[in-house]
């Protein structure tokens, strides 16, 4: 959810892909926060969200199958490493931020199809070389996806082992299975929402294609992933759904009672 707030309110980046440049228009820009800090915030929050997905899956594996094993103590160094990577992986790329005057001239030369109607001081070009940024994002992505696959595999293997050994009552096994399915849906929903826009932006970088309208649409779709996840969570998790229904019903009932008491003599 914080990533949504960051993209739609705090930074509001107008990305100029395939150029590695953006025009920040959010609250942070109004407050005078340097553009390099805003770029760091965008990429770091994206990584933190990814590591949070790893943490959720790992937590389910730990609670269901590894609570009384060696993993009880070994999990903490991994969690610390994950968030250390999330907060530091993009620093090497940002350490090579070019001189903005020279970078703007290079931008006009290499990307003449980008219609720039704002002055050069408003645009922040965070790299002229795709290699270092790609390397940072790619290695972090491989590190994250590998952990997601490993923990999902361990969950599936242990669930299958329980079903074969019949160590649980059928009702308990069904509850655990249903719980895992809902967690998987909740986790992969934001990934599915972001897959299309992120893939499109990657292809724009590869094929040097520019379309500002679709760039803006992609950022909007990415910024909506938290809201979509929240809606899906209400549909698949019965306790959350019942709580919201009861809360709305209580407020509606209270308003009716107040209106009746107000109208009565």
Domains in the chain with CATH codes: 2-263 (1.20.1070)
Query: In this structure, what token pair is assigned to residue 88?
Result: 């530091």
Distance CA 107, CA 100 (A): 10
Across 10-66, the runs of DSSP E, i.e. the strands, are: 13-15, 21-24
When pLDDT is cut at 50, 70 and 90, the band that residue 104 belongs to is confident
Exposed / middle / buried, residue 41 (Cβ in 10 Å: 0-12, 13-18, 19+): middle
In the chain, the percentage of residues whose pLDDT exceeds 90 is: 18
- What is the side-by-side order of every strand in the sheet holding 13-15? 13-15, 21-24, 124-125
Kindly state the DSSP code that residue 161 receives in the 8-state scheme: H
- pLDDT value at residue 254: 56
Q: Which of 129, 133, 118, 94 is nearest to 14 (CA)?
A: 118
Q: In DSSP terms, which residues pair with 95 in a beta bridge?
A: none
Across residues 214-226, what is the average pLDDT? 86
Checking if the pLDDT of 263 tops 70, the result is: no
pLDDT of residue 64: 82
Which single residue is written with the structure tokens 């942070």?
28
pLDDT value, residue 121: 67
Confidence tier at 241 by pLDDT (50, 70, 90)? confident
- pLDDT interval class at 245 (50, 70, 90): confident
Give tens-digit pLDDT for 26-52. Answer: 899 889 899 899 999 999 998 998 898
The SS3 call for residue 22 is: strand
73 or 118: which leads in pLDDT = 73
Q: Crossing angle of helices 35-65/130-165, nearest 10°? A: 10
Q: What is the pLDDT of residues 80-101, one digit of tens each?
A: 999 999 999 999 888 888 888 8
Helix, strand, coil share of the chain (percent; to 5): 75, 5, 20
Q: 125 pairs with which residues across the strands? A: 21
| Rounded Cα–Cα distance for residues 148 and 61 (Å) | 11
Q: Is the pTM here over 0.85, yes or no?
A: no
The CA R_g of the chain, rounded to the nearest whole Å, is 23
Q: What is the mean pLDDT of residues 166-189?
A: 73
pLDDT at 20 over 50: yes
């Amino acid at each position: 959810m914080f990533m949504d707030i960051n993209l739609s309110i705090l930074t509001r980046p107008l990305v100029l892909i395939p150029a590695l440049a953006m025009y920040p228009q959010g609250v942070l820009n109004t407050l005078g926060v340097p553009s390099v800090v805003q770029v760091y915030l965008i990429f770091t929050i994206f990584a933190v969200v990814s590591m949070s997905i790893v943490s959720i899956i790992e937590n389910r594996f730990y609670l269901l199958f590894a609570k009384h094993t060696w993993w009880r103590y070994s999990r903490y160094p991994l969690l610390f490493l994950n968030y250390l990577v999330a907060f530091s992986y993009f620093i090497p790329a940002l350490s090579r931020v070019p001189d903005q005057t020279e970078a703007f001239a290079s931008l006009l030369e290499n990307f003449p199809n980008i219609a720039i109607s704002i002055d050069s001081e408003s645009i922040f070009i965070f790299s002229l070389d795709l290699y270092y940024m790609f390397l940072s994002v790619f290695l972090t992505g491989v590190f994250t996806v590998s952990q997601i696959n490993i923990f999902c595999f361990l969950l599936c293997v242990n669930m299958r082992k329980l079903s074969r050994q019949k160590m649980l009552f059928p009702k308990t096994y069904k509850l655990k299975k249903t719980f895992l399915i809902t967690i998987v849906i909740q986790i992969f929903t934001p990934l599915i929402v972001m897959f299309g826009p992120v893939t499109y932006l990657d292809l724009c970088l590869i094929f040097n294609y520019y379309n500002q309208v679709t760039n803006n649409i992609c950022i909007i779709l990415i910024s909506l992933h938290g809201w979509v996840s929240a809606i899906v969570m209400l549909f698949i998790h019965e306790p959350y759904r019942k709580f919201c229904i009861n809360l709305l019903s209580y407020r509606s009932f209270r308003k009716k009672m107040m209106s009746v008491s107000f109208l009565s003599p």
